Amino acid sequence: MTTITAPSPTAQPTAPTAIPEVSNKISLRQTASTSLTMAYRGILKIKHNPEQLFDVTVQPILFTALFAYIFGGAIGGNVSNYLPVLIPGILVQTVILTSVVTGTQLREDMDKGVFDRFKSLPIARISALAGALVADMVRYVLATTLTILVGLAIGYRPQGGVVGVLVAGVVIVVCSFAVSWIWALVGVTGKSAAGVQGISMMVMFPLTFMSGAFAMTSTMPGWLQGINHVNPVYYMVNAARALMNGNEYGGDLVYSLVGAVVVIAIFAPLSIKAYMRRA
């Protein structure tokens, strides 16, 4: 008699273990921390590519010395009389033109795919943009310091004292940070780094030279003086002169700071929105 063995019951599949959902939310503190890390990355880039500092090291020295000794006699009668006009103006010109680099470098990083790599990291996507703008503030401080030192070396003696010079430097850095948001938007939406740089310079050079940075606006035609009333660089130059030459706090300072707040309020959201669409 053959014994038939009953087949063992098929094992029932066990329910898969639930995988905990990973939250994509990143706290404000983490965002600030990663933004500072990205800013440190931007500073390290300068270390490995020191030519990026030419515009904030060589330019202040060359421009200050050239304008002082070439135009000093023609505009101020002599170099000493011209320095109180020139140094605050060239300080604004140097730092405000440095803000153009923000958009150019953003566009270069996006073209090279650097930001694409950041997408795979567990960081807030806005950190790369915020870090780039914070890192550029180091460049503004360096340009400000060098311009003032060169001015002192060739004989400029600010009557506003240390306080006036420091306040002027802070105001210029803050205003330049605000302007950098404009170029960040241009950089994010532009098609090439060369195009971003060309557009930025085409806008900033006329605004800077007509602002009275190198010659008093009272000597300019009336129509040009009228245009300066809507030129933000004009108010920055006047505020810097008043602070550095007399430690005076007037309407130009208020216009400069209020203008900086307005620019940030308008262009920061636009830049972030455009960046988030592409990041």
Sign for the CA dihedral angle at 26, 30, 32, 36 comes to: negative
pLDDT score at 82:
92
Domain count, the chain: 1
pLDDT band at 15 (very low <50, low <70, confident <90, very high): very low
Could you tell me which residues come within 8 angstroms of residue 137 by beta carbon, excluding any fewer than 6 positions away? 173, 177
Residue 32: what residue type? Answer: A
For residue 157, the enclosing domain spans 28-278
- Residue 19 above 90 pLDDT? no
Q: What confidence tier does 279 reach under pLDDT thresholds 50, 70, 90?
A: low
Asked if residue 141 is part of any domain, the answer here is: yes
Residue 61's alpha-carbon distances to 18, 34, 46, 144, in angstroms, are 65, 35, 19, 11
Residue 33 domain-assigned? Answer: yes
Beta-carbon contacts of residue 259 (< 8 Å; ≥ 6 apart): 175, 178, 232, 235
Residue 181 belongs to some domain of the structure: yes
Q: Per mean pLDDT, which range of 3-7, 88-92, 200-204, 235-239 is the poorest?
A: 3-7
Segment 56-77 shows an average pLDDT of 86
8 assigned to some structural domain: no
**Percent of the chain predicted with pLDDT > 90:** 30
Is 183:197 a contact under the CB 8 Å cutoff? no
Distance (Å, rounded) from C-alpha 198 to C-alpha 216?
A: 27
User: Stretch 12-40: mean pLDDT, rounded?
Assistant: 60
* Helix intervals (H) in the chain: 28-48, 54-71, 79-98, 100-111, 114-118, 126-153, 161-189, 193-209, 222-228, 232-246, 251-278
* CB atoms closer than 10 angstroms to residue 238: 23
Assess if residue 22 is contained within a domain. no
pLDDT of residue 16: 45
Q: Per the domain annotation, does 149 fall within a domain?
A: yes
Q: How confident is the model at residue 193 (pLDDT cuts 50, 70, 90)?
A: confident
pLDDT above 90 for 268 = no
For the chain, the farthest-separated pair of C-alpha atoms sits apart, in whole angstroms, at 130
> What pLDDT is stored for residue 92 in this prediction?
92
- Give the least confident one: 29-43, 181-195, 215-229: 29-43
In a domain, 13, yes or no: no
The pLDDT-based confidence of 171 (bands split at 50, 70, 90) is very high
* Cβ within 8 Å of residue 195, ≥6 positions away: none
Question: 10 lies in a domain?
Answer: no
